[in-house]
Amino acid sequence: MHNIKNIRNNFEDFKSKIKSRNLDINFDEILNLDKLNRNFIQKKENLEKEKKDISKSQDKSLFEKSKKISSELENIVKDQALIKTKLDKIISSIPNIPLTDVPIGIDESFNKEIEKCGNIKNFDFKTKSHYEIGEGLKMLDFNLATKTTGSRFVFVKDKLAALERAISNFMIDTHTQINGYKEISPPLMASDDSMFGTGQLPKFENDQFEVKLDEKNDRKFLIPTAEVILTNMVRDQILNIKDLPMRLVAATPCFRKEAGSYGKDTKGMIRQHQFYKVELVSIVESDKCSEELERMTKCATMILDKLNLPYRKIILSTGDMGFSAEKTFDIEVWLPSEKKYREISSCSSCGTFQATRMKARYKNKSNETTFVGTLNGSGLAVGRTLIAVLENYQNSDGSVNIPDVLKPYMNNLDKISIN
């Protein structure tokens, strides 16, 4: 969340940078509300001083005037609260400011490829999609999920369920044993305060699954990503610099309405309401975000390197970045059936944007209290990794080879087949 003082003092610069995110924001309204808010505060302070002076004077003839001032103060406090609420609502819906090296553009077509890694396999047969392979093996069942639950869900069965679990365990082991992350098994529900802290609320409430509880004021949401719950572990805290960096990892189900994706990827497992993901979160000193983003991205691509899956790394444009991000690298894995790369991870630096919303701070080397930097990334999306393995390791007879690094997690099974 942005500080109104910073907006006021650097208004034209702020306006220019936020405009690069292609949003229709009434900047004049922000300034007008800020001016009104400060005027109310000034009036309030003047009246409070006047009332205090009357009280000190003990002049009984001023008693009625003191009562009138109290009434005025009551009205001013109400008016100021309304203006402040309106101002905060607008500011809380303004996204993070992009870093200077982020490409400026209106959508994903302005993203820039940074590198390609791995070799794309040449198949001597017509490749199948992951859902054709899974249904052929009788181990992916979308129709049953539609009957029991609804669209955009799936039953993963038998050896493919074991493979999905193996992928998740392999990722967690790699990140904890090699990449230095601490494993967390977090709650799968978050409060509205936590959802606000990482930027899902208020702007993206329509994308969230809210859980209805008996207490109407106690709002809870199924986590859209473990980023929400992991990042909020430091909410309302002042951390010791010695405890930074904090690097956390969790394997959890995630839940999203996919409200803006009507008609997209309706077949298969690419875009579902429930999916598994291994999430990486870093809490760092505010000036260490850029180097931590590079490190986190390498931790994510390490998984694909070990699985021997071809991928590319791109930097997202200002028009394609997430709300809380100041810079994002996407990792896209090659899918033979589509003959193109598809997103399997996003690694983002949020700078101090989320920390400001969460009031997450630390004492820096000068012993000043300042906001931490936060980062998050998929390490990786488990379902999409399963898709990539099915498609890149498929055989002409419909069977699927097990990548070498996953065999120890699959009782040394070499291949999944219908037999």
Calpha distance 268→323 (Å, rounded): 27
Which pLDDT belongs to residue 54? Answer: 79
Which pLDDT belongs to residue 246? Answer: 98
| Per-residue pLDDT of the chain in tens (419 residues, 90 and over written 9) | 799 999 999 999 999 999 999 988 999 999 999 999 999 999 999 998 888 887 778 777 787 888 889 899 999 999 999 999 999 999 999 999 999 999 999 999 999 999 999 999 999 999 999 999 999 999 999 999 999 999 999 999 999 999 999 999 999 999 999 999 999 999 999 999 999 999 999 889 999 999 988 777 889 999 999 999 999 999 999 999 999 999 999 999 999 998 666 667 778 999 999 999 999 999 999 999 999 999 999 999 999 999 999 999 999 999 999 999 999 999 999 999 999 999 999 999 999 999 999 999 999 999 999 999 999 999 999 999 999 999 999 999 999 999 999 999 999 999 999 86
Which pLDDT belongs to residue 121? Answer: 96
Which pLDDT belongs to residue 280? Answer: 98
Which pLDDT belongs to residue 211? Answer: 94
Per-residue CA distances from 144 to 141, 155, 372 (Å): 6, 7, 46
Cβ 301 vs Cβ 332: under 8 Å: no
Which pLDDT belongs to residue 258? Answer: 80
**Hey, what are 246's tokens?**
């904090």
